[in-house]
A and B are shown apart, each in its own frame.
Chain A
Amino acid sequence: MSEARKNYLRPLDLKNGRVDMAHGAGGRAMAQLIDELFARHLGNEWLAQGDDGAVLPAPGAGRLVMATDSHVVSPLFFPGGDIGCLSVHGTINDVAVMGAQPLWLSAAFILEEGFPLADLARIVASMAKAAREAGVPIVTGDTKVVERGKGDGVFITTTGVGVVPPGCELSGSRARPGDAILVSGTLGDHGMAIMAGRESLGFESPIVSDTAALHGLIATMLASGADIRVLRDPTRGGLATTLNEITRQSGVGMMVHEKALPVSPAVAAACEFLGLDPLYVANEGKLVAICAQNDAEMLLAAMRSHPLGARAAIIGTVQEDPHRFVQMTTAFGGRRIVDWLTGDQLPRIC
């Protein structure tokens, strides 16, 4: 990179510059973009290796976990976050819910010709901050540029690698009848923050995205000694989708209680206004935990001791059901299915 840099005399114009096709062409312009923007923000000893992949110290014990996630959220900047921190948090969470300590991230960017470099710099700075706070460095990356009109500003794909300590067995297939179902906090905040950020809807709300890295909360939960069977982050499709995924994997049913579901008044009101159900709205800083019934209170206390689990709640029970239905007792006093989401309630949410 340093050689390319020397020959590229004009520094990147981060104030008024634009992504052009050359930034994705693999030549000097791309090298400059990587050097002056990505490496400047994200730099660390592994990324500095500058190869196609990063060579990383092998873990002494345990198993590797690898997860990847693409981010196409619109708008790119929303109350409580942006596509940058979202792409870091989302992948860290995917690694962490497997019980792994997230160690490294990669980041791939698809940029649209004409995208303002100032916006890209904001996004990358936000990624860097999120990665720093989480203690998970971004160690390798890729950049592509597509013609104007063929993308939508910027898409980011991140991949995360982590290590599961010996003895930790978490899987969506481990839920058993009688287990308790918990959530770590209020539902639907991310999705409704995005909706409010979309100008066409013309409403304002105080809702901010809950986007956050959950590996700290998860470490606290694992350390509590509770017999945790499943952890999962209910992102696209919301809690309802996540519960249905788990019942399918584990071959069980569930009964949740509407009264026990934590939903903030602002989210409840916005959902009401738009005709949405918070159970289907995306979260980016929440998790669902399934644990042995006897350990539920202990796990709840551990979750509530962490700032990201302050509003954790026990919301229901796993039950035997050959049909694998997720059912809910309504606050009204009836009963109904909480089904898989049909269609797309909110496109481009993460």
Chain B
Amino acid sequence: MKYIDEFRDGEVAGKLSAAIASEVNPARRYHFMEFCGGHTHAISRYGVADLLPENVRMIHGPGCPVCVLPIGRVDQAIRLALEHGAILCTYGDCLRVPASDGLSLLKAKARGGDIRMIYSCADAVTLAQQNPDKQVVFFAIGFETTTPPTAVAIKQAAALGLKNFSVLCCHVLTPPAIASIMEGADQQLHLDGFVGPAHVSTIIGSRPYEPFALQYGKPVVIAGFEPLDVLQAIRMLIRQVNEGRAEVENEFVRAVDRDGNRKAQALMEEVFELRESFEWRGLGTLPLSARKIRAEFAVFDAERRFALAYQPVADHKGCDCGEILRGVKRPQECKLFGTVCTPENPVGSCMVSSEGACAAHYTYGRYKDV
């Protein structure tokens, strides 16, 4: 595959790995967090950690859309399907996220809920057109990457005058999550730098990370999702640490610039406004960290249309997803990991998506634990 294989080249990886080994200071340790689940997945799937020196450790961050979704939000989606009889559409990974009462969207489907997995939110609009006598709700999750398409779907529904389409908006923002990790860092977690988001940065640009480098003195290197991208970004982070710099650098120049995608930003601005606060799994309730639908588009807001109240629900007592999402614990340090909690029977959200830290470690890396 042209333009993909080049970023997975084992020979180049070997050279880069040797270069990293020669550049690290053997007298110190390096702890870097990759924010995105996409990076976590690439590191695990391609075995990137095996190409790093022993004193460079990667810590998985909270940037996995389904992982940070709190139980209360999945409960809302299930209620829409089971109690309000809506056709509930969402992206595939969402279906297995554990919710209250031993349910998940997948289990709610088996109980008769009309729950559909879709590849694009445009499919939800089409479903609404095809089922005029049913309410169709799109359960919208994800960071800035998936937010603009939801804005497009809402505008499309408005243009079509659809009366039976709405969105349960759970879109979240990346910078507040990074800020939350940085605030907690140095107390429970030692961090020397961040591998910055790939696809999110194509939308928001590299500028929003600049205050972090300044304020917290941690370098950020934005990296693509291919394994060579990650390896190169780690090398750039090591250089910054060695040289005592804390800057925002961009490894992913083929897709990201400082300003990002202004058209997408304008779309998000037009359709959404910030929520005063939003509960994240693991990170707690963060101010101005998520989006809601603006009053002009209120008819498409499922929370208003169905008068859905939000009820926070505590995570399973033994589940360490919170600490794992903050990078304070590693998946294998959770008591439930691999015994009670497996990809077939996830207790916490990190065991659900292949981008989740627990699922990635279980699926690709657990041979290292034995």
Using CB atoms and an 8 Å cutoff, list the residues of chain A in contact with chain B.
Answer: 200-201, 259, 265, 268-269, 272, 323, 325, 327, 329-337, 339, 342-343
- Report which residue of A325, A327, A329, A330 has the largest number of chain B beta carbons within 10 angstroms of its beta carbon: A330
- A272 near B4: Cβ-Cβ < 8 Å: yes
A333 contact from B10, B123, B366, Cβ within 8 A: B10
- B47 near A330: Cβ-Cβ < 8 Å: yes
Given A201-B119, A323-B367, A336-B45, the answer on whether A331 and B8 have CB atoms closer than 8 Å is: yes
Complex CA gap A325/B343 in Å reads: 16
Name the A residues within 8 Å of B287 (CB-CB).
Answer: none
Name the A residues within 8 Å of B227 (CB-CB).
Answer: 332
- A339 near B367: Cβ-Cβ < 8 Å: no
Q: Measured between C-beta atoms, what is the minimum distance from A7 to chain B in Å?
A: 45
Q: 3 closest Cβ contacts across the A-B interface? A: A334-B47, A334-B50, A342-B343
16 A-B contact pairs sorted by A residue (CB < 8 Å): A259-B10, A269-B1, A327-B367, A330-B10, A330-B46, A332-B9, A333-B10, A334-B51, A335-B50, A336-B47, A337-B363, A337-B364, A337-B366, A337-B367, A339-B343, A343-B343
- Report which residue of B50, B96, B359, B370 has the largest number of chain A beta carbons within 10 angstroms of its beta carbon: B50
Name the B residues within 8 Å of A272 (CB-CB).
Answer: 1, 4
B50 contact from A268, A331, A333, A339, Cβ within 8 A: A333
B46 contact from A325, A332, A337, A343, Cβ within 8 A: A332
- A323 near B363: Cβ-Cβ < 8 Å: no
Name the A residues within 8 Å of B48 (CB-CB).
Answer: 332, 334
A269, closest chain B residue (CB)? B1
A328, closest chain B residue (CB)? B47
Complex CA gap A343/B344 in Å reads: 7
- A336 near B119: Cβ-Cβ < 8 Å: no
B interface, how many residues as a size bin?
20 to 34
Given A201-B119, A342-B344, the answer on whether A333 and B51 have CB atoms closer than 8 Å is: yes
Q: Is the interface of B mostly helix, strand, loop or mixed?
A: helix
Name the B residues within 8 Å of A269 (CB-CB).
Answer: 1
B residues 36-68 near A (Cβ < 8 Å) are: 44-51
1/0 contact string of B2-27 vs chain A (CB within 8 Å): 00100011100110010000000000
A277, closest chain B residue (CB)? B45
Name the B residues within 8 Å of A333 (CB-CB).
Answer: 10, 13-14, 17, 47, 50-51
Complex CA gap A325/B338 in Å reads: 14
A266, closest chain B residue (CB)? B1
Complex CA gap A272/B363 in Å reads: 19
Name the B residues within 8 Å of A265 (CB-CB).
Answer: 1
A323, closest chain B residue (CB)? B370
B residues 344-370 near A (Cβ < 8 Å) are: 344, 359, 362-367, 370
- B365 near A337: Cβ-Cβ < 8 Å: yes
Complex CA gap A259/B367 in Å reads: 21
Name the A residues within 8 Å of B367 (CB-CB).
Answer: 323, 325, 327, 335, 337
Name the A residues within 8 Å of B96 (CB-CB).
Answer: 343
- A342 near B363: Cβ-Cβ < 8 Å: yes
Q: Measured between C-beta atoms, what is the minimum distance from B125 to chain A in Å?
A: 14
A259, closest chain B residue (CB)? B10
Complex CA gap A14/B49 in Å reads: 61
- B1 near A336: Cβ-Cβ < 8 Å: no
Name the B residues within 8 Å of A339 (CB-CB).
Answer: 343, 362-364
- B363 near A334: Cβ-Cβ < 8 Å: no
Q: Measured between C-beta atoms, what is the minimum distance from A265 to chain B in Å?
A: 7
B residues 68-99 near A (Cβ < 8 Å) are: 96
A343, closest chain B residue (CB)? B96
Complex CA gap A268/B3 in Å reads: 13
